[in-house]
């Protein structure tokens, strides 16, 4: 089994931390520079029975100018070409305008989307339940997976769920 996975989400939600954890320092090519390429392979995870290729897309955010608009279209097209989209959010921040904007962009994407709620080490379980409920109303996610990329909670389970979709 093998497949392409795109990780999207606002800055600082923990995308690089997650990739570092699953891929390891050696292979992961992390960059915080704005992306200009269409599909940038960030890391390849080779497991016994599968290969997961994590790619970076140009950031999804509200464009401030026409070039931004163009980059957004590139990012959206990329989402259609992958096997799975991981939409990562910060559990500490709740649902806001930034998340709403990304969800709007996901509406016409047929690729399955996992909502990955990161930084659960920072919040109370009751808050997590409320967050899951509010996200459930907004979009039909294929899975909603709470994790802590920093501490590793549930990361293995997320990888299993990813593999099931490949
Ligand atoms: P990115 O911009 O989405 O790639 O986010 P980064 O991976 O650079 O993470 C941004 C910040 O959040 C860093 O200071 C990380 O250490 C921190 N961070 C990432 N994941 C977690 C987590 O699960 N729990 C906590 N408490 N902090 C995290
Ligand atoms: Mg990053």
Cα three-residue angle 106-110-111, rounded to 5 degrees? 85
- State mean pLDDT over 74-83: 81
| Cα-to-centroid distance, 41 and ligand 2 (Å) | 13
pLDDT, one tens digit per residue, over 94-148 is: 898 889 988 988 988 899 999 999 999 999 999 999 999 999 999 999 999 999 9
CA distance 55 to 21: 15
Whole-number percent of the chain with pLDDT over 90? 42
pLDDT of res. 15: 87
Higher pLDDT, residue 119 or 1: 119
Q: Name the residue of 12, 34, 90, 148 whose CB sits within 8 Å of the most ligand 1 atoms, as the mutation to test its pocket.
A: 12
pLDDT of res. 160: 92
CA distance 95 to 93: 7
Please give the structure tokens belonging to residue 105: 């962009």
Level-2 CATH architecture, domain 2-164: 3-Layer(aba) Sandwich (3.40)
pLDDT of res. 105: 86
pLDDT of res. 37: 43
User: What's the N-to-C CA distance of the chain in angstroms?
Assistant: 6
pLDDT, one tens digit per residue, over 38-61 is: 456 667 777 767 778 887 665 566
Mean pLDDT (the chain, rounded): 83
**Index of the ligand 1 atom closest to the CA of residue 122:** 26
The ligand 1 site (C-beta within 6 Å) comprises: 9, 11-17, 118-119, 121-122, 148-150
Q: Which residues have beta carbons under 5 A from ligand 2 (an ion)?
A: 15-16
Q: What pTM, to 2 d.p., does this model score?
A: 0.87
Higher pLDDT, residue 36 or 127: 127
CA distance 146 to 102: 18
113 three-state secondary structure: strand
Q: Which ligand is nearest to the CA of 40?
A: 2
């Amino acid at each position: 089994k093998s497949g392409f996975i795109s990780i999207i989400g606002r800055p600082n939600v923990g995308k690089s931390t997650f990739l570092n954890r699953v891929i390891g320092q050696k292979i992961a090519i992390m960059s915080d520079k704005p992306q200009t390429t269409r599909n940038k392979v960030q890391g390849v995870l080779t497991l016994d029975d599968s290969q997961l290729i994590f790619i970076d897309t140009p950031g999804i955010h509200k464009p401030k100018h026409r070039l931004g608009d163009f980059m957004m279209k590139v990012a959206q097209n990329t989402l259609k070409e992958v096997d799975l989209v991981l939409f990562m959010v910060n559990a500490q921040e709740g649902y806001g305008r930034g998340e709403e904007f990304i969800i709007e962009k996901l509406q016409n994407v047929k690729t399955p989307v996992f909502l990955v709620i990161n930084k659960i080490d920072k919040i109370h379980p009751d808050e997590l339940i409320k967050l899951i409920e509010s996200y459930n109303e907004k979009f039909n996610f294929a899975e909603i997976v709470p994790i802590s990329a920093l501490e590793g909670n549930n990361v293995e389970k997320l990888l299993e769920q990813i593999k099931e979709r490949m």
